[in-house]
Structures are given as structure tokens and as C-alpha cells.
Amino acid sequence: MTDLTQLTLTQLRDALRRGEVSSTAVTQATLDRIVEIDNDVKSYITLMDEPALAQAAAADQRLANGDDAPLLGVPIAVKDIICTAGTPTTAGSKILEEFVPPYNAFVVDQLEAAGAVILGKTNTDEFAMGSSTENSAFFTTRNPWDLSRVPGGSSGGSAAAVAANLAYGALGTDTGGSVRQPAALCGVVGLRPTYGRISRWGVVAFASTLDQVGTFGRTVADCAALFAAVAGYDRRDSTSLNLPVPNVAEALTGDIAGLRVGVPAEFFIEGLDAEVETAVRQAIAQLEALGAEIKPISLPHTRYALPAYYLIAPAEASSNLGRYDGVVYGPRVEGVDMIDTVKQTRSLFGSEVKRRIMLGTYALSAGYYDAYYGRALKVRTLIKRDFEAAFGEVDLIAASTSPTTAFKIGERTADPLSMYLADIFTLSLNLSASCGLSVPCGFDSQGLPIGLQLIGNTLQETTILNAAYAYEQATDWHQKRPLIVDS
């Protein structure tokens, strides 16, 4: 058999069920690959090698007994903002460097119930605040397609691990595009489900009305299989949707005849790289060739998404991160008095986290609440109404995931606004609580991946997954692998 790490998640799952490979062999091969490659990519913060091999051995026994759990024996990576019992969960921050959760997040329990092998915790921008994984307190993850470039963020570690064959699938979180944008930049598939589809219980909070766990895969089927395994209702999360999880495997028919695809003018604007626009428009033409009906639409309040997001998300972050005060939660750095102790403890936050806390605190302060945070909430309602009106005319929306391909490490760190603009095409979805994904649709002249974003109405994961699957089956972009994979 070929190199085991080259298999997709679904190929591996089927090979394990047929008894052609063992989970132990696959897990060991992947761990060896991580040791060989990850010093360059730096996708993992913590490697759980011994527990992973123990889970693999248990999976092999279950497979021998005829167990057919959906991810039985498949090695998966988990973003280090998701709690794992007995293993550090740092959220990419010095303030949680020594935090070892006594419990699993809901999604980790779901993975274990599905039989997955958890390889380790992947790098993230601190508290998921960033678009490049350069804000991690520990190190910058590198893009497997070009190690001098960013993998996107904040789930850059998960995207890079999947792209570099260091995991068969991975979990991330998406607050403003943090699954879809790194998926686009790393040439993999990334799904951000409807808000509430996957429980946030046990996920370190950034912005609670925007945060959502998402999935990464090398193919649409991989991404869908992982979504099906971790989605579901959880009474511990008050925003969790008590609805059945759709059978996404059956939904991947590839038939999109008559599908109405909206193309919003507001997503094809100045600042969109010409090569990216060409690739995305060609992808939309391919959907039309497959039987979809392409229709121009407008989302008129899109230009307000960026400022609204950067008032709402920092305001919620200011509230959520207030618990890190050296008094009742996390580390305590002693000062000369109580005020100084809080100040010294919070000095452990990185510069981007401090920036967003200050922005959020200001937006919530007396005399400014209505002018900033309150107004941003009204704009959010207008953006949501734009999407509702659009979905009255079309079944899904197609656009670019990112305005550019992966940029150089350090290129935007001195200019926070240019960094924020990296998410300009993904923010609206989070504000509207819709669902969306990114699927590879080409490369630029430098050989860097480009992503096509498909946005669906609330609870329409099967629609966007099937459209992405149809496109994927008609093209070969998803089969391209970065040179580091063959090194």
C-alpha cells in the first residue's frame, strides 16, 4: 500500500473497516511524519503520542470485534482552544500555559465516542484572535505550500496539519472566518456550520455569539464525516440546537441541477486579488456547467460587516476575558496590592488580545455603549436581513473565501487593519449565523491555493456540502499536495 499518511480520512476509514491497515500502524506513521515534518510547519503545540497509540490499540481491538463507529481508528487533530482532559489547553496564550482541564469539551467526547484517535493540540492565534496564527504566544505556524508564508488563522495549526498530512482531519473554531480562511490559504476544505449545530461547551470563549466549532478535511467527504461525528445537541450549552444531525453522507450526491447560486456584487470589490477573482469566477462557471443557475444578488450592508464585527467581537471578548484577573481563575502574578496583582497577571496577555480587550471595554463603557456596541448590534440585524432576503431568491451564495492568497510571515503584523481585512469576506456569515465552507478552487501564479466560499442558509449544511462535493468531483484541485508532503 502507498504511504499511509497520503490517504484521505474516508479512504482510511474504509481501509480500516476492511482490515487492510491497522490504526496502530496508521497512528505511528502519522506520529513519525509529525516528528519529521512539524519542526518546519509547527502545526502542533502539544503532541499526545502515548495516549494516541493507546487509543489506536483500543480501536484495533474494536475493529477486530466488528465495531463500525464512524471514525474508529482515524487520527484527528484538535485546536488548542478546545478542552482535553488531562492534556494542556493553552488557547495559544501564556496566561493558560499551565492549564490542564479536568474534563473534555463536548466535541472531544464526541470524537472519542466515534472512535477517533486524538493526535494532539494544534496551534492557534491567542484566544483565537487573529488571521495568521502569528499571534500565538508560542510560535508561528507556517503554510505547508510555502514555509515563508502564514497558514491563515486563527485555526492555522489545524489547517496546516491537514494540508501537510499530519492529521486526517481536524477541529477548529470559526468566530469571523477562522476555519474557512485558513482552509483557503492551505488548500483544504473547511466547514463552519450553523451557529449552535456543534456545542461550544468546553471551548475557551472568545466572542460567545459568534464562536462556532468547525471541521477541516482534505476532501469535502472528509470534512462532512467529521462534522457528522461531532455535531449534536448538548444541554450544557444554552445555544445548542436540539435538532437531528443531517445524514451528510447520503446528501453528497453530486447532483446540483437547478441549484440557485447567488453571486453578490459586494464580494467582488477593490482589494480582491485579480488571480483570486479569476479562479473564483471560473469555479462559479463550473457550478453553472454542472447544472446550477447563477444569479447576481446584492448584500447591501456587507461593507458594514467589518466595523460591526470589530465592535461586537471585542466587546464580548472584553467580557469573557475578564475572568483572567489573578483572583479566581488562571495564574496569579503577585503585585504590591490587588490592583497591581490584576495588572501584572493581565500582562501575560499578548498585544493583539490586549488591543481587542481595550476596544471592547471602550465600546461597552458608559456614554459610548449606544454609539458603538448598540449601533453595531443594529447593523448585525441589517446584515442578517440581507442574507434572509438573498436566501429567498437563491439556495446558496458563492464568493471568494479570502481576498488574497497566503501572505508573508510578518508582512501585516505592524498594521492591524490590513490584518483584519483578511477576513472581509468571511465576517458577514458569522454575524448572520448562517453556515459556510471553503473548498479549493485553484492556485495563483506563485503556486498558492485559492478557496471558493459557499454560504448556505441556516441549517443548510447539506446544501453547501453537496455543491462543494459536485464541484470537487468535477475538478482536481483537492488532489494537489504541497511539496513538503513529498519531501
Q: Which residues have C-beta within 8 Å of that of residue 419, sequence separation ≥ 6?
A: 130, 131, 132, 412, 413
Kindly give the pairing relationship between strand 75-79 and strand 169-173: parallel
What is the predicted pLDDT for the residue at 366?
Answer: 87
Is 334 inside a domain boundary? no
Is 114 inside a domain boundary? yes
Amino acid (1-letter code) at residue 347: S
CA angle (160 as vertex; 154, 166 as ends), nearest 5: 135
CB 130 within 8 A of CB 107: no
What is the predicted pLDDT for the residue at 433?
Answer: 87
Amino acid (1-letter code) at residue 227: F
Across residues 81-109, what is the average pLDDT? 97
Amino acid (1-letter code) at residue 44: Y
Is 228 inside a domain boundary? yes
Is 331 inside a domain boundary? no
Across residues 291-296, what is the average pLDDT? 98
What CATH number is associated with residue 187?
A: 3.90.1300.10
For residue 262, give the H/E element and its range: strand 260-264
Q: Residues with catalytic annotation?
A: 79, 154, 178
Is 452 inside a domain boundary? no
Residue 420 has pLDDT above 50, yes or no: yes
Domain count, the chain: 1
Across residues 112-124, what is the average pLDDT? 98
What is the predicted pLDDT for the residue at 2?
Answer: 63
pTM score above 0.85: yes
Identify any residues that bridge with 188 across adjacent strands, giving them in sequence order: none
What is the predicted pLDDT for the residue at 483?
Answer: 80
CB 436 within 8 A of CB 192: yes
Question: Average pLDDT over the chain, rounded to whole?
Answer: 96
Q: pLDDT band at residue 487, thresholds of 50, 70 and 90?
A: very low
Is 394 inside a domain boundary? no
What is the predicted pLDDT for the residue at 1?
Answer: 45
Burial class of residue 195, CB neighbours in 10 A (0-12, 13-18, 19+) = buried
CB 62 within 8 A of CB 117: no
Across residues 287-312, what is the average pLDDT? 97
Q: pLDDT band at residue 486, thresholds of 50, 70 and 90?
A: low
Domain that holds residue 128: 4-256+460-486
Is 113 inside a domain boundary? yes
State pLDDT tens for residues 423-482: 999 999 999 989 999 999 999 999 999 999 999 999 999 999 999 999 999 999 999 999
Is 330 inside a domain boundary? no
